Amino acid sequence: MNSATTEHRTTDGKTPTSVMLLRNPLDFIAEDHLRLRTMCGELDRLVEATGIEDGAITVMIENLNKELPLLLADEDHDLIPKVLSRAEPEDELPKLIERLEQEHAVISAHLKTATTGLAALVPATDMSDQLREAMRNLASATRRHLTLENAVLLPLARARLTKEDLHELRSATLRRRGLADLFSPQSP
């Protein structure tokens, strides 16, 4: 990343990735991946905690209910189809795309179980073994998936996508977040 984008970086796992990074949507996705890795570490920490941390759980629920589904939608509806449309035969993308889609389904299933369990936890006093397992599974599946996307999908996207593709990806990502006019020129 260049210095213009690094000033907007957040790695605390709690703060949403800065939409200013969407000047280059691939930088935004890469940064969101780093953020998700931090969130996975927080999931692991919460699993091992001896007591219920209402504040941390509330932040985690909010992030898991909003931020992770947005990233999955960005990838499923825009990034993956664009990379697939620009792929060369030697990229052998159909197998990769099938695997990524399967992993997104697994993550979504773990996400639902974990968020439902976490939401029920806030007024409770203990975390069930089933919820701990769901949180571990979500963190593990997400890390594994991010490794594949960072190693294969994002480098292919950087090599194959055109400026127009990146513009369309940026526009779709902004629309999904209710920020369609963020980078529009200001009216006089």
Show me where the domains of the chain are located: 22-164
Average pLDDT over residues 137-163: 95
CB 29 within 8 A of CB 169: no
pLDDT bracket for residue 187 (50, 70, 90): very low
Q: What is the pTM of this model?
A: 0.84
DSSP string, 172-187: HHHHHTT-TTTTSPPP
How many residues in total does the chain contain? 188
Kindly indicate the confidence band of residue 188, based on its pLDDT and cuts at 50, 70 and 90: very low
Quote the tokens at residue 128.
């069930």
pLDDT at 8 over 90: no
Cα gap 169→175, rounded to integer Å: 10
> What's the average model confidence in pLDDT over 123-152?
90
d(CA 188, CA 174): 23
What is the pLDDT of the chain when averaged over all its residues?
Answer: 86
pLDDT band at 6 (very low <50, low <70, confident <90, very high): very low
**Does the pLDDT value for residue 3 go beyond 80?**
no
Average pLDDT over residues 8-13: 57
Residue with tokens 């526009």: 171
CATH code of the domain occupying 22-164: 1.20.120.520
**d(C-alpha 9, C-alpha 69), whole Å:** 20
What are 24-68's pLDDT values in tens digits?
A: 999 999 999 999 999 999 999 999 987 778 888 888 998 899 888
Q: Is 25 exposed, middle or buried (0-12, 13-18, 19+ CB in 10 A)?
A: buried
- Residue 26 has which token pair? 């691939």
CA distances from 171 to 25, 62, 133, 165 (A): 9, 24, 37, 10
Alpha helix (H) residue ranges in 14-162:
25-48, 54-74, 80-86, 93-121, 129-148, 154-160
* pLDDT tens for each residue of 73-118: 999 999 999 999 998 888 888 888 899 999 999 999 999 999 999 8
Amino acid at 183: F
CA distance 28 to 39: 16
Structure tokens at 160: 């194959």
182 exposure class (CB count in 10 Å sphere: 0-12, 13-18, 19+): middle
Beta strands in the chain (DSSP E): none
Render pLDDT for 37-49 as a digit per residue (tens, 0 to 9): 999 999 999 999 8
